Amino acid sequence: MWVNKQTILTIARKDMKATFSSKKVWVPMVIVAFLMCIVVPSCMAYFGIHFDLVGTSSEEIEKPLNSYIENFPNEDMRNTLIALPTLGYKFVYFFLTFMMIPFFLMVAIINSMVTSSNSFVGEKERSTLETLLFSPISIKDLFLGKVLASLIPSLGISFATFIGSFIIVNVITYPYFKVILYFNSTWIILMFWVIPILVLFNIILNVLISAKVKTFQEAQQFGGILVLPIVGIMISQASGMFFLSPLTLFLIGAVLLAGNLFLIKLVTKFNNRNTLFQSQIH
Amino acid sequence: MVIHILKRLSKKYKIIVNDYPSLIVIKMDDGYGGRNLTNIIEVDKVCKQYNQREILKDVSFTIKKGSINGLLGPNGAGKTTIIRLLNGVIEATTGTMKVMGFDPKLQGDEIRKRVGIVTESASLYHDMSAWDNLVFFSKIYGHADTKRIIHLLDQFDMLRFKDQLVGSFSTGMKKRIALAKALLHNPILLFLDEPTNGLDPEGINEVIHYLRKVNQEEGVTILICSHVLHQLETICDSYLFLIDGKIVENGTMIQLEDKYLKEIKLLVETGLKPLTSPTYKGCIYSRKGENQLEFLLSTKEEITPLLTNILKETWVHNCEITNRSLEAIYFHIRGGNVGE
């Protein structure tokens, strides 16, 4: 057998226990997810429907927004938006369906970065990496255990917040929109294709980076670069440069999957105790 | 297969069988704790370079199975590098090594499965309890056995602290847990890198006591790296002196004494009051206290006749060779002054 399942699970369990026994680690992760994926959409839904959020300036933006909707590339969405009675409803519907996507992507990235950048560097800072390298476990098993320990909490929090958001937002909006939000091909592809692959990509990249760098701060700085593409998506979504259609999302996932395969190849190249030991232990 | 059959026979007939791949040693239990003279470690002309710096230069030595060995040398001499090389976590630039018959470069995992190690820092998870640490490492070594963990915690007098976080332990307690961790998988060989660093005298005595116990009761071969010489004197069977990346001397205490002790300083607590100064029966002496005389002898063989002569005249309560300490020999080897 080419991997030792027992060892991988032992390392993953130990790391997850460490993550959830330290309030400093898991509380910020949960709070960020709760704020960005539950509080923001819920408030947007509630206040957008019940209060005139767009306000007195509505006339100024009504024209450009209506022309924007008329030119919308997705026909179903265009028709749904046109059918909605007020500008406020249109804005809420548009925000919850499209603008929330980068929020979920962002939470997945941030959480996986926190757990994964802690992996090797955390072991090094506690001087336990040396002991692990002195034990009869393969570097591959060590990497896989670390990846699993980051993947499970990150995905768990993403899925839990998605379910929470799905329930709360739909309870607020269904009586008005008569449509179940987050329940379309875009969101299903996002949650069950793009996010798992993105989280995995981010984790493998971070585990690789943290095996190369020497301090936790360095690892996080490198990891932070990964947030940039998500900010790019957010801006392009808001400015109408391009929309995350199911096909675009599927392609993003496919590219990330290819990236994952490339990273895994790099990990196997890095599968050398001597190199890891000399770069990390002094 | 052969080893398997021999092992089955060994249970029946009390034969000791070593499961090294390249050598099968069969030895009837001789009642001496299973000690034999097989080499468990063989290092031949090993060099290690790192960042264009030569850390080890042409290092060769052997370690006998069942023995306790001290690897001595100043800080930065290359002691830790030797331990890392023997465990196969770093690779030698040139030279060959065999640990239990395995090549560390190619069969590192086979060595690591059979070796216990205590590194300089205790290397435990501070946010986990002693028990959780030991359970985790026992699984990592593939020897998840709670009975063994309880036994070791009991041996190291840590059973009552098993549920406390390691982060709350004193240095001595952490060292004891680290030792228990190193012994979880019943290792054949134990490496200890500066095991007494940061310990108070009581803690040092405890560690030395436990190491002797492990060696005697479980037959574990031990290699201790240290620069604190007097702590090792009471425990080691033989010594390796590593200075500037070179093994400059090795041997048992007796061998080293024979080689380096050119004169014997014998301090005797006695009522003798010699009249003819500065010699007594041909032996040079100096007075060190009211009832203390220090004799300068050329060999140990002169001790018995000297004491016989003194005892004919008066009482003797104590006698001790004062310049035979490991430290004195170490300074002889380094070419410095003998510390007294």
The confidence score (pLDDT) of residue A54 equals 58
A67 reaches B (C-beta below 8 A)? no
Contact predicate A189/A246, CB 8 Å: yes
- Asked if A19 and A26 count as a contact pair (C-beta separation under 8 A), the reply is yes
Residues in chain B: 340
The edge-to-edge listing of strands for the beta sheet with B53-64 is: B53-64, B39-50, B94-99
In chain B, residues with a C-beta closer than 8 Å to the C-beta of A132 are: 140
Contacts (Cβ under 8 Å, ≥6 apart) of A51: A88
Q: Which of residues 83-102 of B touch A (CB under 8 A)?
A: 84, 87-91
Give yes or no for a contact between A190 and A103, defined as CB atoms under 8 angstroms apart: no
- In chain B, pLDDT over 70 holds for what percent of residues? 87
Out of B109, B112, B127, closest to residue A22 by CB: B127
The label of the residue with tokens 């971070």 reads: A206
Rounded CA gap, B193 and B206, in Å?
A: 16
Distance between CA A114 and CA A203 in Å, rounded? 9
Structural element, H or E, at residue A262: helix A246-269
Chain B residue numbers with beta carbons less than 8 Å from the beta carbon of A134 are 87, 89, 112, 117, 119
Q: What is the mean pLDDT of chain A?
A: 84
Burial of A145 (0-12, 13-18, 19+ CB in 10 A): buried
Residue A13 structure tokens: 């369990």
> What's the pLDDT at B5?
47
Please enumerate in sequence order all residues whose Cβ is within 8 A of that of B269, keeping only pairs 6 or more positions apart, or say none: B291, B292, B316, B317, B318, B319
Does any CB of chain B come closer than 8 Å to the CB of residue A278? Answer: yes
CB contact under 8 A, B127 and A136: no
Q: What's the rounded Cα separation, in Å, for the pair B262 and A160?
A: 79
Closest alpha carbon to B63 in B247, B261, B271, B245: B247
**Shortest CA distance from B127: residue in chain A:** A18
Question: To 5 degrees, how large is the angle CA B261–CA B263–CA B265?
Answer: 105
Q: Is A138 helix (H, G, I), strand (E, B) or coil?
A: coil
pLDDT at B320 over 70: yes
Is the pLDDT reported for residue B24 higher than 80?
no
B289-295, Cβ contacts within 8 angstroms, sequence gap of 24 or more: B291/B317, B292/B267, B292/B268, B293/B267, B293/B268, B294/B265, B294/B266, B294/B267, B294/B268, B294/B322, B295/B264, B295/B265, B295/B266, B295/B268
Residue B104: C-alpha distances to residues A131, A132, B22, B23, B41 (Å): 17, 16, 14, 16, 11
pLDDT at B22: 39
How far apart are the C-alpha atoms of B276 and B293, rounded to whole Å?
A: 14
Query: B292-297 and B283-289: which strand pairing?
Result: antiparallel
Tokens coding A152: 């499970």
- If DSSP states are collapsed to H, E and C, what string results for B62-120? EEECCCEEEEECCCCCCHHHHHHHHCCCCCCCEEEEEECCECCCCCHHHHHHHEEEECC
Percent of chain A surpassing pLDDT 90: 34
Which residues of chain A have a CB within 8 Å of the CB of B142? Answer: 6-7, 136
User: How crowded is the C-beta side of B94, counted as CA atoms within 13 Å?
Assistant: 6
User: Taking CB atoms and an 8 Å limit, are B127 and A7 in contact across chains?
Assistant: no
Q: Is A6 on the interface with B (CB under 8 A)?
A: yes
DSSP bridge partners of B17? B26
Distance CA B176, CA B83 (A): 20
Mean pLDDT value across chain B? 84
Residue A148: exposure state from Cβ atoms within 10 A (0-12, 13-18, ≥19): middle
Which pLDDT tens digit goes with each residue over A218-255? 666 766 776 777 777 767 666 655 667 888 889 989 99
What would the pLDDT profile of A87-105 be if each residue is shown by its tens digit? 788 888 888 988 888 899 8
pLDDT > 80? residue B200: yes
Assigned token pair, B98:
């065999």
Are B128 and A128 a contacting pair at CB < 8 A? no
User: Who contacts A104 (Cβ-Cβ below 8 Å, separation ≥6)?
Assistant: A36, A37, A158, A161, A162, A190, A191, A195
User: What sign does the CA torsion over B303, B305, B308, B313 have?
Assistant: negative
What's the pLDDT score for residue B268? 93
B71 vs B17: CA distance, rounded Å: 28
**Residues B119, B124, B125, CA angle at the centre, nearest 5°?**
155
The whole-number average pLDDT for the span A115-133 is 83
When computed from its CA atoms, the radius of gyration of chain B, rounded to whole angstroms, is 24
pLDDT at A53: 61
Between A30-39, A224-233, B118-127, B234-243, the lowest mean confidence (pLDDT) is in A224-233
> Of chain A residues 108-147, which have a CB less than 8 A from chain B?
126-128, 130-138
Strand B53-64 versus strand B39-50 pairing type: antiparallel
The DSSP output letter for B129 is: B
Q: What is the distance, to the nearest Å, from the Cα of residue A30 to the centroid of all Cα atoms in its chain?
A: 13
pLDDT of residue A60: 65
Peptide bond into A102 cis (omega under 30): no
In tens, the pLDDT along A53-85 reads: 655 555 666 776 777 777 777 777 777 777 787
Q: How far apart are the first and last CA of chain A?
A: 33
- The Cα–Cα gap between A144 and A207 comes to 10
Which residue in the block uniquely carries the two structure tokens 């808001």?
A238
B 112-131 → A contacts, CB under 8 A: 112-113, 117, 119, 121-128
Tokens of B91: 């690779």
Count of CB atoms situated within 10 Å of the CB of B27 = 15
The Cβ of residue A105 has, within 10 Å, a number of other Cβ atoms equal to 23
Q: What is the mean pLDDT of residues B209-217?
A: 90
CB within 8 Å: A274 and B90 = yes
Q: How many CA atoms, within 13 angstroms, populate the side-chain half-sphere of residue A45?
A: 25
User: What pLDDT sits at residue A282?
Assistant: 67
Enter the ipTM: 0.83
Of the candidates A39, A36, A47, A94, the residue with the CA atom closest to the CA atom of residue A69: A94
Query: Is residue A157 scored above 70 in pLDDT?
Result: yes
Spell out which residues of chain B touch residue A138, defining contact as CB-CB under 8 Å. Answer: 109
- Check residue A57 and give its pLDDT: 55
Written as one string, the DSSP assignment of B142-206 is: T---HHHHHHHHHHTT-GGGTTSBGGGS-HHHHHHHHHHHHHTT--SEEEEESTTTT--HHHHHH
Helix (H) / strand (E) containing A114: helix A100-117
pLDDT at residue A42, as a whole number: 94
Distances (CA, A) of A245 to A98, A153, A166, A237, B24: 9, 28, 19, 11, 69
Position B278 scores a pLDDT of 79
